[in-house]
Structure 1
Amino acid sequence: MSLPALNRATLSRIEPGQRPTVDPAELRPRIVHFGLGAFHRAHQAVYTENAAARSGEPWGITAVAPRSAGTVRALRDQDCLYSLTEHRPGGSVCRVVGAVVGALTMGPDAGAVDALLTDPDVTVVTLTVTEKGYHRSPSTGGLDLSAAPVAADLAAGPGGPLSTVVGRLAAGLAARTRAGAPPVSVVSCDNMAGNGGVLGRVVRDFVRASPWPDRDEVLDRMAGTVAFPATVVDRIVPAAGAAGLTTASAALGVHDALAVAGEPYRQWVLEDTFAAPRPPWERDGALLVPDVTPYQLTKLRLLNGSHSALAHLGLAAGCVTIADTMATEWGESTVRALCAEVAATLPAGGPDPGAYAHDLVVRFRNPAMHHLLRQIGSDSSLKIAERWLPALRELRGRGAGTPALELALAAWAHGTRPDTATALTDPAADALAACWSAPARPAETVRALLSAVGAPDLAGDDALTTAVAGRLPALRAGRVEI
């Protein structure tokens, strides 16, 4: 017998403790979120629902999917309800989240998206579009005006179709300033150092390069009415799979086609520079601080850096999940060695690196989590530029040893080989594969790979490229040697 679908009509079938903490019917769309993936639904949406419940303020989210029309349809079919299962070592806990009150697809629903971006009731816009969604130039850090999607958006003209989130957001903010709507805060929740500044720059770059006759006036108005706070987000959220959907549906007694899962741990640190009203996320444990940099670099370089290292090393060794890597003789050693090595590059004022590394070992070992290495290892040409390379530059500039980062780089380099069985999706996949096409000494291949990801300075470090190349034979044999 099939289960009834999750929606508002079937909420009464679910145990009271598993229902949303606030009545979804009482919420209004006051936040627009770009990116309808599992992470947002397991992180910001949870903080927002709990903040609404504890404050009595009607903070609802309209989620905008840049491309995933199927997810939007499925979410609408469920009245925008979905479940979150927390996988705890002692057992799992499942409940329904009701913070999302609307779902749109960015292209087909462009008119509705623009109307929300100019709505005075909307005072917060958030984004989880991954690093590649910002279309940054590797040489300047600003908007890559030569990127085909960006160039197409700039050529579209007023009212034309826009395919990038940056273009859609820039157009919406421009319309908001023209309409004289109240200030708004635009909050990046993606894993990039200085993500607020990055987002503000690419949006302004788009406006500056646009054909709009009033672009200078728009930029002037935005300077006083749009804030781009920096943030740090943290929760391990594996990609959803059929087993997770079955588990959630069984726990709820209704069928949830959009169930997500995550670890118990979550963190949100936000720069307290908002320009407009926002949910009181601090009532659910979020931290509002003057400067997120110490937290941001700790998370990027220790957690994300270790995650990427384990992903590439694990794939070389035949592992499938993070928990698999932690069951090896080298998993814990890798995390602790990389964290200890990189700790010297972290500013004061953040978490204690030693305690943070210990917590990472515990989190990564969680036997209930099945975080796939292929998911973590995707788009690595963008990820390692944030997670490894800045620390590597700093340490080598001081003359410090970098054996853990060299091992991680070697595992990444090994995985870029065009003949590898564990080839990963990456926007630079063709350029990286080409580095292996001509016969060359291994160190020369490493040099070419580093140049391909925008690190010619590191490519010119002969001691580094030789050390990385020296690690390749063991990895090719499936051995990880710390």
Structure 2
Amino acid sequence: MSAPLNRTTVSRLPAELRPAVDPAGLRTRVVHFGLGAFHRAHQAVYTEHAAALSGEDWGITAVAPRSAETVRALHAQDFLYSLTERRPEGNRSRVVGSVVDALALGPDAKAVDALLVDPEVTVVTLTVTEKGYQRSPSTGGLDTAAVAADLTADPAGPLTTVIGRLAAGLAARMRAGAPPISVVSCDNMADNGAVLARVVHDFVRASDWPDRDRVLDRMTRAVSFPATVVDRIVPATGEEDRAGALAALGVRDALPVTAEPYRQWVLQDSFAAARPPWERDGALFVQDVTPYQLTKLRLLNGSHSALAYLGMAAGLTTIAETLAADWGERLVRGWCAELAPTLPAGGPDPLSYADDLVVRFRNPAMRHLLRQIGTDGPLKIPERWLPALRELRTRGANTPFLELALAAWVLSTGRVDAVPALLRGLGAADLAGDDSLTAAVADRLPALRAGRIEI
């Protein structure tokens, strides 16, 4: 059997396969919640390159909300893992070394809290998906019922939600008088910084902590929540990826990740404390990320979801297969053209953005599964599709691509006779009451049931 990946075996690899920075020279200055593949292929890479290019010792401790198995596997590999970029001309692999420790949210609660109070830690980042924010669909604020157990628990105990643990840790930092800190959502939500700030503040307000008002007052001055836009397609890891990593490295990696070559990170320039110089690796710092955020959510994420549901209706498996279909490119370009009028000025050009999406989605080396992209539709669709749909229909504009995508999603639910009820379930009672819209969606269903994508 091949030797496992660790600091000893990585030192024997060719230079082009080794980390860009020596992990032994890093220390924890960033805490990240969410130990999934996306973080390891995105923020961890930017941080590694920032450390290597600047000579600064920015290391990451990653906190897994659920998967203690991933934590154990990272420990066994000295926190190293491989990243393979799937390129049309051939894959390119190397080891990433910016993660210096890994913790489990519940069992390692004390260690997590200690880091959140540590003056050396000045940045917290999160990739916990939309549902990790415990938001109320009606108010957009914290769903206190979903975090009720954490609100009544001992803050020093094993809180079960990321928002509860983060709020308790930040409160402890405020009480300790530790330096300011920036908390950065890297999840695909509109106004993700404001969303994160609201649910954290709501948690503190809803707590029974006697000093909650004082904690909130200091948080407004010492904790910033910059908005961000992150972009990189990172498919779920399979056995084929593990075999590919073994072939590329010659050592066994239990936690490889794969990704497309493209990556982007746009951040609001409103950090409260020191941060990695991510701009050294191409990250863009701007005053207002909204134009980039809405372009990403509505054009990339929106068309990605549309391709997923339509592709599944057509019996396809991956995004690349949808672009190979005779309707795939037309869907992407038509989608971008339809939604372009809803985007503010100051962001990427929608037509050029569509060109990039076609190239990215068509990449034959990527195997991004439609069923993975189509998960959590009721959480994603209200962000990705419905605001643009409302705006366009208010203007009296035609919305054939959005209607087609909604019909494909309805088909995926198995409730093809309940279009208005499904829209109400998305928190869209206004759209559910739009008879012309629901009729247009219903009219698309017979062709989709037959596997025909009519554009």
In the alignment, does 2:358 pair up with 1:385?
A: no
Per-residue CA shift, 1:246-270, capped at 9, x if unaligned?
A: 1011101111110000000000000
Q: Which residue of 1 aligns with 2:297?
A: 300
State the match for 2:310 in structure 1.
Answer: 313
Per the alignment, residue 255 of structure 2 pairs with: 258
Residue 225 of structure 2 is aligned with which of 213, 223, 228? 228
User: Counterpart of 1:57 in 2: which secondary structure?
Assistant: coil
Identify the residue that residue 344 of structure 1 maps to in structure 2: 341
Q: What letter matches 1:477 in structure 2?
A: A
Q: Which residue of structure 2 lines up, in the alignment, with residue 55 of structure 1?
A: 54
* Structure 1 residue 153 corresponds to structure 2 residue 126: no
Q: CA RMSD in A?
A: 0.7
1:7-406 equivalences in 2 (<5 Å): 7-147=6-146, 150-406=147-403
Alignment of 1:454 with 2:427, yes or no, is yes
Q: Is the partner of 1:342 in helix, strand or coil?
A: helix
Distance 1:277 1:187 in 2: 13
Please list the CA deviations of residues 347-391 of structure 1 after superposition, one character each: whole Å capped at 9, or x if unmatched.
000000000001100100000000000100000100011100000
Q: Tell me how far 1:412 sits from its aligned partner.
A: 0.3
Asked if 1 retains the 8 angstrom alpha-carbon contact of 2:32 and 2:61, the reply is yes
Q: Kindly state the Cα deviation for residue 11 of structure 1 after the two structures are TM-superposed.
A: 1.2
**What is the TM-score normalised by the length of structure 2?**
0.99
User: 5+ unaligned residues in a row in structure 1: which ranges?
Assistant: 418-434, 437-441
Report the counterpart of residue 411 of structure 1 in structure 2: 408
* 8 Å contact kept, 1:13–1:253: no
- Partner AA of 2:345 in structure 1: A
Q: TM-score, normalised by structure 1?
A: 0.94
| Residue identity in the other structure for 2:58 | W
Deviation string, structure 1 residues 16-39 (Cα, Å, up to 9, x no partner): 111011100000000000000000
Check conservation: 2:110, 2:156, Cα contact below 8 A: no
Inter-partner Cα distance in structure 1 for 2:247 and 2:59: 27
Instruction: Return the offset for 1:13.
Output: 2.1
Structure 1 runs (4+) deviating above 4 angstroms are: none
Kindly tell me the number of residue pairs found equivalent between the two proteins.
455
Q: CA deviation at 1:155?
A: 1.7
C-alpha contact 1:60 1:100 (8 A) present in aligned 2: yes
Written as runs of structure 1 = structure 2, the 5 A alignment for 1:403-482 is 403-417=400-414, 442=417, 445-482=418-455
Secondary structure at the counterpart of residue 266 of structure 2: strand
Secondary structure of the 1:67 match is: coil
AA at the equivalent of 1:453:
L
Whole-angstrom distance in 2 between the partners of 1:218 and 1:395: 42
Query: What is the distance in 2 between the residues matched to 1:399 and 1:136?
Result: 31
The CA deviation at 1:12 is 2.1
Matched residue type, 1:478: G
1:191-211 Cα deviation digits (max 9, x unpaired): 000000000000000000001
Distance in 2 between residues matched to 1:233 and 1:450, nearest whole Å: 28
Whether the aligned pair in 2 keeps the contact of 1:448 and 1:459 (CA below 8 Å) is yes
3-state secondary structure, aligned to 2:91:
strand
Structure 1 residue 240: deviation in Å?
0.3
Deviation at 1:311, TM superposition (A): 0.2
For the residue of structure 2 that corresponds to 1:140, the secondary structure is coil
Question: Using the alignment, how far apart are the partners of 2:246 and 2:19 within structure 1?
Answer: 16
Letter of the structure 1 residue corresponding to residue 120 of structure 2: D
Q: Secondary structure at the match of 2:201?
A: helix
> How many Å separate the matches in 2 of 1:157 and 1:96?
40
Task: Give the Cα separation in 2 of the matches to 1:288 and 1:123.
Answer: 18
Measure, in 1, the Cα distance between the counterparts of 2:13 and 2:91: 16
**Contact 1:157 / 1:211 at 8 angstroms: preserved in 2?**
no
Encode CA deviations 1:252-303: one digit per residue, 9 max, x unaligned: 1111110000000000000000000000000000000000000000000000
**CA–CA distance in structure 1, aligned partners of residues 158 and 35 of structure 2:** 20
Alpha-carbon offset, residue 160 of structure 1: 3.3
Assess if the C-alpha contact under 8 Å between 2:107 and 2:158 holds in 1.
Answer: no
1-structure distance, mates of 2:160, 2:394: 41
Per-residue CA deviations over 1:143-181 (Å, capped at 9, x if unaligned) read 11122xx11111213433311000000000000000000
For residues 472 and 99 of structure 1, what CA distance do their matches in structure 2 show? 48
Task: Give the Cα–Cα distance (whole angstroms) in 1 for the partners of residues 72 and 246 of structure 2.
Answer: 19
SS at match of 2:11: helix
